[in-house]
Amino acid sequence: MPPSTVTTLYDFAKELLDDCHDALLTTSGGATTYEHVNPGTPSLDCCDSLIVYVNPFATEPHGGGAAFEEGHQSQRGGRLNVATFKILVTRCLEQPSDGAPLPDADLNAASQEVDEDVWAIWNYLTALYRAGSLFQGACSDVWFVNAIPLEPQGGCIGWIITIRAAIDGYVVTP
């Protein structure tokens, strides 16, 4: 298990991006054309995207009792550094220029594409975690929180997948 460094948070986000790209290669829609790690919550200005970002990052209690109340810090530990990784995957859903509703066949095809995306990513990442290779095998505590569909906007549809991981800190000499 590699030790944490100053680049670990970005490295894990980039690893997730690469893993999600590989998962999308197994879908009928294939890989997206616009893929990157974003330095915060992205705007939906480009469909057919795969974007990973961290939001939020916090320390959380590990264990129970009064010593682990919110905000408590101890030199002996007792708190976990927890990064929340968000994976945004979008596809384009072209609206008719005349304002008419989309035909059912088009809606069904779009639904199939984005449902394949989320299911492929979820299962691919779960398999990597079970094999001990997600996050370079460095995170023993990983939570697959949820996947929430986006409200269609700007011609984009898709999902936001949330995964949380406890990441060991690294030594900084004050």
> pLDDT at position 2, please?
67
User: 1-5, 66-70, 75-79: which has the highest mean pLDDT?
Assistant: 1-5
List the structure tokens of 121.
Answer: 């990513």
> pLDDT at position 74, please?
44
> pLDDT at position 154, please?
78
Which band of pLDDT confidence, cut at 50, 70 and 90, is reported for residue 75? very low
> Considering the chain, what percentage of its residues have pLDDT values greater than 70?
88
Tell me how crowded residue 76 is: count the other CB atoms within 10 A of its CB.
Answer: 5
Give 69's DSSP letter: S
Query: Tens digit of pLDDT for each residue in 51-62?
Result: 999 998 888 776
CA distance 70 to 79: 10
Whether the per-residue pLDDT at 67 is higher than 50: the answer is no
Query: Tens digit of pLDDT for each residue in 131-140?
Result: 999 998 777 7
Q: Is 112 left (phi over 0), alpha (psi -120 to 50) or beta?
A: alpha
**DSSP string for residues in 10-67:** HHHHHHHHHHHHHHHTTSSS-S-SEEEE-SSSPP--SSSEEEEEEEEEEEEE-S-SGG
Which band of pLDDT confidence, cut at 50, 70 and 90, is reported for residue 171? confident
- Find how far residue 125's CA is from the centre of its chain: 10
149-163 average pLDDT score: 91
Q: Which residue would you say has higher pLDDT here, 45 or 26?
A: 26
Measured over the CA atoms of residue 129, residue 145, residue 3 and residue 66, the dihedral's sign is: negative
> pLDDT at position 78, please?
62
| Contacts with 27 (C-beta within 8 Å, 6 or more apart), sequence order | 113, 116, 117, 120
Query: Tens digit of pLDDT for each residue in 77-130?
Result: 567 889 999 999 999 987 777 777 777 788 888 899 999 999 999 999 999 999
Domains annotated on the chain, with CATH: 8-166 (3.30.2000)
CA distance 87 to 18: 11
Whether the per-residue pLDDT at 39 is higher than 60: the answer is yes
| Contacts with 158 (C-beta within 8 Å, 6 or more apart), sequence order | 47, 49, 88, 89, 90, 91, 114, 117, 118, 149, 150
Instruction: Output the CA angle 82-141-31, nearest 5 degrees.
Output: 80
Mean pLDDT of the chain: 86
Question: What pTM was computed for the model?
Answer: 0.86
